Amino acid sequence: MQDSTLKRFGVSMEGNLLRKFDHLVKQRGYENRSEAVRDLVRDALIQQSWEDNEQIVAGTILLFYNHHQRNLLEELTNIQHSMHDLVLATTHFHLDHTSCLELIVVKGKVKDIQKFSNSLTSLKGVEYGKFTVAPVEQV
């Protein structure tokens, strides 16, 4: 059962850290510190949920790669087909003559998606890869 009532609590921190935090609050456009703290707590809980390999998550795998790399496109396709049950959608962008960006939307168990992401980002020719995730179940 979810308790959606607001609860107040106090937080103490050093002046220098608070000034930096206030700068972050302003920079990101939060109306107040409470909104920023809530987002930080949510993010920490999401990161912690990765520790449960059985947790069902949804997220993205972002890849930047050189499409001229020998056999890379074939390898990317083969890996994605072998893990097709995790893939919800794929979007491909041509950035310039040699560079591509691919965004793969995924859903499944953390351990399976992490393995999938690692197999893609470790391929020769993938210049950058990033796996972002959020739990499907409410945190």
**Residue 84, annotated as binding a ligand:** no
pLDDT at position 137 over 80: no
Tens-place pLDDT, residues 2-27? 677 888 888 888 899 899 999 988 99
- DSSP structural state of residue 50: T
Can you tell me the distance from the alpha carbon of 32 to that of 15, in angstroms, rounded to the nearest whole number? 17
Tens-place pLDDT, residues 52-89? 678 888 999 999 999 899 999 999 999 999 999 999 99
**Residue 100, annotated as binding a ligand:** yes
Which residues, including other chains, have CB under 8 Å from residue 53's CB and lie 6 or more apart?
109, 110, 111
Q: What is the pLDDT of residue 13?
A: 87
Which residues, including other chains, have CB under 8 Å from residue 89's CB and lie 6 or more apart?
104, 105
Tens-place pLDDT, residues 103-129? 999 999 988 998 999 999 999 999 999
Tens-place pLDDT, residues 89-98? 999 999 999 9
Can you tell me the distance from the alpha carbon of 6 to that of 28, in angstroms, rounded to the nearest whole number? 22
pTM above 0.95, yes or no: no
- Enumerate the domain spans of the chain: 15-49, 56-135
Query: Looking at this protein, which amino acid is placed at residue 136?
Result: V
- DSSP structural state of residue 5: S
The first and second tokens of residue 98, run together, are 């040699």
**Residue 94, annotated as binding a ligand:** yes
H or E stretch covering 15 = helix 15-27
Going by pLDDT thresholds of 50, 70 and 90, the confidence category of residue 47 is: low
Structural domain 56-135, CATH architecture: 2-Layer Sandwich (3.30)
**Residue 92, annotated as binding a ligand:** yes
Q: What is the pLDDT of residue 23?
A: 93
Other CB atoms within a 10 A radius of the CB of residue 83 amount to 19
Buried b (16+ CB within 10 A) or exposed e, 118-131: eebbebebbeebeb
pLDDT at position 39 over 80: yes
